[in-house]
Chain A
Amino acid sequence: MQGIDFAETSPIITMRGVWKYYDLGENRIPALRGVDLTINRGEFVAVWGPSGSGKSTLCNLIGLIDDASDGVVELVGREVRQLSDDQMSEFRNKTIGFVFQHFNLIPVLSALENIMLPLQIQGVSAKAAEKKATGWMMEIGLGDYTGQRPDKLSGGQRQRVAIARAMVTDPSMVIADEPTANLDSQNAGKIIDLMREINMSKGTTFIFSTHDQRLLGRVQRHLQMQDGMIVEDKSL
C-alpha cells in the first residue's frame, strides 16, 4: 500500500483474551469472547460483521469508552485497566479520535467550534484552537462553512466535520463506529476515502466498524466478527 512506511510499525493496540459481558436481567450475555488482536501503528482497519457480532463493543473497548470484563487491553503499550477515569479521559482526548454513526456534533456550536472542542478540553487557548481548526476546515473542503451550525450541513458535511474534530488533536488512532451508516453510498465512499487519505498522509491508525461489505475494498485490513469472536483477520 502506498504512503505508509511499515518499517516503523509497532503495536498500537494489543488485546489478549478479552471478554465482555452485558447483564440483561438475570442473563449474562457475552458480547466479546476471548478476543486476541494486535493492530499496528498506521494501519487502516475495518471491523465488519452483522448486527450483534460485537464490532461496536470491540471499538468501544479500544476507544476506552467501555471496560473489558476480562482479559488485557493495551493501548500504545499501556494496560488500560491501570488508568483512573480522569486518566482515561486525558488519554482519549490526546491519543484517540472518535467518529460516530450519528455524527454527534454539538448542536449549539458552529462547525469550526465543534472542531476546536477537543483542543479546548485539553486547555489550548481559543486563538490557537481556532487556527488549527480552521486549517482542518480547509483540509476537509469546508472552508466556506466555518460559521454554520450542524443543522445547516448535509450528512456528508457533518461527518467530515466529525472527522476533522477527531483529527484536530493529532491522535495516534481514530475509532469510527459505523461512520457511514447514515450516509448514502456515494457519501459513504467519500468518507472512507477521506479517512484513508488522512491515514496515508499523517500515518494515523484508523479502526472503523461497518456492516457494509462494499467498503471493504477500500481498506488495508479487515476483521470479520461473528458472535463476539474474530472469525477472519485478512490483510490485503
Chain B
Amino acid sequence: MSAWVKIAIRNIIKNKRRSLYTIIAIALGFAAVNVFGGYTEYMFTSLKNGFIYNYGNGHLTIFKKGYLEEGKLDPTKFLIKDNELEAIKEIFKGDPRILLSTPKLEVTGLVSNGRVSTIFFANARVPSDIEFIRSKSTGMLAKIKLFDGNKLADDVPNAVGFSSGLARKLDMRPGDTGTVTSPTIEGMVNAVDIDLYQTFESPMAELNDKLIDMNLKLAQDLYDTTSVGSITVLLSDTGMTDKVRAYLLGEFNRTRLEMEVKTWEEMSPFYRKVRDMFDVIFLFVFIIVFVIVVMSVVNTVSMSIMERTREIGTLRALGLKRAGVVKLFVIESLLMGMVGSLFGLVITLIVWYAIKVIGPTWVPPHITKSVPLEVFLVPSYLVVSFFSLIILSALASMAPARRASYGKSIVDALGYV
C-alpha cells in the first residue's frame, strides 16, 4: 500500500470521532439526495404512467391543426372526418412502434336524473381500446381499481361512467338511468338515454362533479356525426415518443393532412409543473447537502492540519514537495468520502426496503384517492452521487491543504506548538 494511503487511513482511525462525524455527514447527504431523488422519480413515473396508461391518454394525441387554439370555441370546425381518419390509419399500418390508435370525442351538455340537471364534460372513447391501454400499466398503478361498478363495453353504447362528485350531485348510483342533452354539430338539440354503469374519481378534483366517461358511439349519436375530435396513439416504448412524433409530422406533411401531434408531456401541464417544481426542490436539497459536506470536510481537514503542522514541516524538510502535502490531505478526504458514500448507500437501501415493507399510502394533490408511496432506486443517481461526493470531499480539502503547504514556511511549521 502506498505510504500516503497508509498515513491517511491511520490518521482517519486515530481521530475516530472527528472522522466519524464527517463520514456520517457524507453518508446522510448521500442518502438524502438518493431517497429524495428516488421519491421524485417515483412521482414523475407515476404521473407519467398514470397519464399515459391509467387515464388512457396514450403517448401521442393527434388533432386537426388549430384545434387547441380555437377548437374550444367551435369544436365542430376541427373534427377529424372519416376519410382523414382512414388516411391516418393507413400511415400507422404495419408500424411496430404503434401498439394502438383510438379515436376520441369530447362532448359537453346537460345531464339529468329526471329531476335535476347539471352540466357535464365527457370523454367519449372506445371502451375496449381504453381497456387495452390500461392493461399496459405497470407497478403499483396497475393494481389500482379506477372505478366502482361495471366495465363499460363496446356493445353497450348507452353505458356511462360518472365522476363520484357528479353521481352524488344527481343522487345516482350504478344501475340508475338518466338523460344527456347536447346540441348537435348542426346546432339542433339532441337527447339520449344513459345507463349509469360505474363511478370513478376524476384525475382533477375540480372536475369531479362534472365528468362523464362514455362510449364513442353514444357521443357520435348525440352530436349526430361520424367524426372524432382527436386520435390517441399508444406506443410500444415511451422513449420513442419524440421520434414517432417527428415521423408522423413528416407523413402528415407528405400526405397533406392538416394535423398536429402533441406528446403526452405537452398534453399534461400538471406533469410539467410538478416536474419543474421538484427539480427546483431537488436543487435546493443538493445545495444544502453540498454545503454540509464541504463544511464538514473543511472543518475536519483544518483541525487535522492544525494538529499536524509540525508533521507537515518534518515531511517538507525530508523532501516532500508542497503538492505532496496537499496530496496527503486530499487522499484522507477522498477516503472519508468513499466510506461516507458507501454508508450512504447502505442507509439508502435500508430506507428503500423499509418503505417497501411498510407500504405507506398518501393522497397526492389534485387526486381524490390515496395511492401507494414508493421510493425508486435510480442507478444513475446512485452512481453520480457516489462519485460526486467522493470528488467533492477531495476538492473541499484542497483549500485548507494548500494553505498549510504554501502558507507556512518549513521553519515556522517545525516550530509550531
Residue in B1, B10, B310, B314 whose Cβ sees the most chain A Cβ within 10 Å: B314
Contacts of B226 in A (CB 8 A): none
Q: Is A63 an interface residue (CB 8 A)?
A: yes
* Contact stretch, chosen from B88-96, B98-106, B174-182, B318-326: B318-326
Given the interface contacts A60-B411, A113-B6, A120-B3, does A106 sit within 8 Å of B319 by beta carbon? no
Contacts of A89 in B (CB 8 A): 316, 319-322
| Candidates B310, B324, B411; contact of A121 at CB < 8 Å | B324
Contact B318 A98 (CB under 8 A): yes
Q: Is B410 an interface residue (CB 8 A)?
A: yes
Q: Complex formed: what's the CA distance from A89 to B3 in Å? A: 18
**Contact string, B298-321, partner A, CB cutoff 8 A, digits 1/0?**
000000000000110111111111
Contacts of B10 in A (CB 8 A): 108-109
Q: Is B7 an interface residue (CB 8 A)?
A: yes
Contacts of A66 in B (CB 8 A): 409-411
Q: Is A187 an interface residue (CB 8 A)?
A: no
Q: Is B16 an interface residue (CB 8 A)?
A: no
Contact A121 B6 (CB under 8 A): no
Q: Is A46 an interface residue (CB 8 A)?
A: no
| Candidates A85, A93, A106, A108; contact of B314 at CB < 8 Å | A106
Q: Complex formed: what's the CA distance from A66 to B414 in Å? A: 11
Contact A117 B3 (CB under 8 A): yes
Contacts of B319 in A (CB 8 A): 89-94, 118, 121-122
Q: Complex formed: what's the CA distance from A113 to B5 in Å? A: 13
Contact B314 A100 (CB under 8 A): yes
How many A residues have CB within 8 A of the partner chain? 29
Contacts of B316 in A (CB 8 A): 65, 89
Contacts of A108 in B (CB 8 A): 7, 10-11, 14
B60 to chain A, nearest CB (A): 63
| Candidates A63, A85, A116; contact of B3 at CB < 8 Å | A116
Q: Place the interface of chain B in its size category.
A: 20 to 34
Query: Quick one: which of A97-136 are within 8 Å of B by CB?
Result: 98, 100, 102, 104, 106-109, 113, 116-118, 120-122, 126
Contact A100 B414 (CB under 8 A): yes
Nearest-CB residue, chain B, relative to A97: B318
Q: Is A144 an interface residue (CB 8 A)?
A: no
Contacts of A26 in B (CB 8 A): none
Given the interface contacts A106-B311, A108-B14, does A117 sit within 8 Å of B411 by beta carbon? no
| Candidates B2, B310, B311, B317; contact of A65 at CB < 8 Å | B317
Nearest-CB residue, chain B, relative to A106: B311
Contacts of A102 in B (CB 8 A): 310
Q: Is the interface of A mostly helix, strand, loop or mixed?
A: helix
Given the interface contacts A65-B410, A106-B311, does A92 sit within 8 Å of B317 by beta carbon? yes
B4 to chain A, nearest CB (A): 8
Q: Complex formed: what's the CA distance from A165 to B318 in Å? A: 9
Q: Complex formed: what's the CA distance from A120 to B318 in Å? A: 11
Q: Complex formed: what's the CA distance from A125 to B1 in Å? A: 10
Contact B7 A106 (CB under 8 A): yes
B342 to chain A, nearest CB (A): 23
Contact B411 A65 (CB under 8 A): yes
Contacts of A91 in B (CB 8 A): 319
Q: Complex formed: what's the CA distance from A121 to B325 in Å? A: 11
Query: Quick one: which of B36-94 are within 8 Å of A by CB?
Result: none
Contacts of B317 in A (CB 8 A): 63, 65, 92, 98
Given the interface contacts A63-B317, A106-B7, A108-B11, does A85 sit within 8 Å of B322 by beta carbon? yes
Q: Is A23 an interface residue (CB 8 A)?
A: no
A45 to chain B, nearest CB (A): 19
Nearest-CB residue, chain A, relative to B3: A120
Given the interface contacts A109-B6, A126-B3, does A85 sit within 8 Å of B414 by beta carbon? no
| Candidates B2, B409, B414; contact of A104 at CB < 8 Å | B414
Q: Complex formed: what's the CA distance from A109 to B6 in Å? A: 8
Q: Is A184 an interface residue (CB 8 A)?
A: no
Contacts of A109 in B (CB 8 A): 3, 6-7, 10
Contacts of A104 in B (CB 8 A): 310-311, 313-314, 414
Q: Which chain A residues have a beta carbon within 8 Å of chain B's beta carbons?
A: 60, 63, 65-66, 85-86, 89-94, 98, 100, 102, 104, 106-109, 113, 116-118, 120-122, 126, 165
Q: Which chain B residues have a beta carbon within 8 Å of chain A's beta carbons?
A: 1-3, 6-7, 10-11, 14, 310-311, 313-322, 324, 409-411, 414
11 A-B residue contacts at CB 8 Å? A65-B317, A86-B321, A89-B319, A92-B319, A93-B319, A104-B314, A113-B6, A117-B3, A120-B3, A121-B319, A126-B1
Which 9 pairs of residues, A with B, have the shortest CB-CB distance? A93-B319, A108-B10, A65-B410, A104-B314, A120-B3, A89-B321, A92-B319, A66-B411, A121-B319
